[in-house]
Structure 1
């Protein structure tokens, strides 16, 4: 579980990132989750865009993505989801220590 300080740090780190996946009309499916799991292991921090034609609620989509990828939901702002998962092999991000 991330602290508020860690989430703030990750939001700042994610600011310059571009979304690399999009959730469209098909919603969240197994193939999308599989690709996100692979990508987040390499990147640790990623943005995912929910398209306007997605028929599911954006909050449900964000939760489903985080749960499916076993990642932390850092932020849902507008239709952009920010996920974080600490990488086993490609650790790049050093989180601030919680008190």
Structure 2
């Protein structure tokens, strides 16, 4: 569980990120989850874009995706959301205490 300070720190990092994956009309698929998990392992923080034709709510979808990949929901703005998952073997982001 992230503290407010940690969440704020991750939001500041996410501010400069571009979405690297997206959810389309198929919704949350196994292929999407695999791709997202691989990206989280490599980067620890990932921004996702939800396409208009999916009809999904960003915050609900983000919380569901975070639960499925065992990550942490950071933020949802418009049709984009950010997920964080610590890489146990090779941590990249050092969170404030």
Query: TM-score, normalising length from structure 2?
Result: 0.93
Question: Could you tell me which residue of structure 2 aligns to residue 7 of structure 1?
Answer: 7
> What displacement does 1:90 show?
2.7
Cα distance in 2 for residues equivalent to 1:59 and 1:29: 17
1:1-99 equivalence runs, <5 A: 1-97=1-97
Shift of 1:77: 0.9
Contact 1:27/1:61, CA 8 A, preserved across alignment: no
Contact 1:18 1:47 in 2 (8 A): yes
Give the secondary-structure state (helix, strand or coil) at the position aligned to 1:53: helix
How far the C-alpha of 1:60 sits from its partner, in A, is 2.5
Deviation at 1:19, TM superposition (A): 0.3
User: Post-superposition shift, 1:65?
Assistant: 1.1
Looking at structure 2, the residues matched to 90 and 35 of structure 1 have their Cα atoms a distance apart, in angstroms, of 19
Unaligned 5+ segments in structure 2 are none
* 3-state SS, counterpart of residue 66 of structure 1: helix
CA offset at residue 56 of structure 1?
2.7
Separation in 1, partners of 2:46, 2:10: 10
The DSSP-based 3-state class of the residue aligned with 1:48 is strand
Give the alignment's Cα RMSD to 1 decimal: 1.0
Q: Secondary structure at the match of 2:48?
A: strand
**Are 1:43 and 1:90, in contact at CA under 8 Å, matched by a contact in 2?**
no
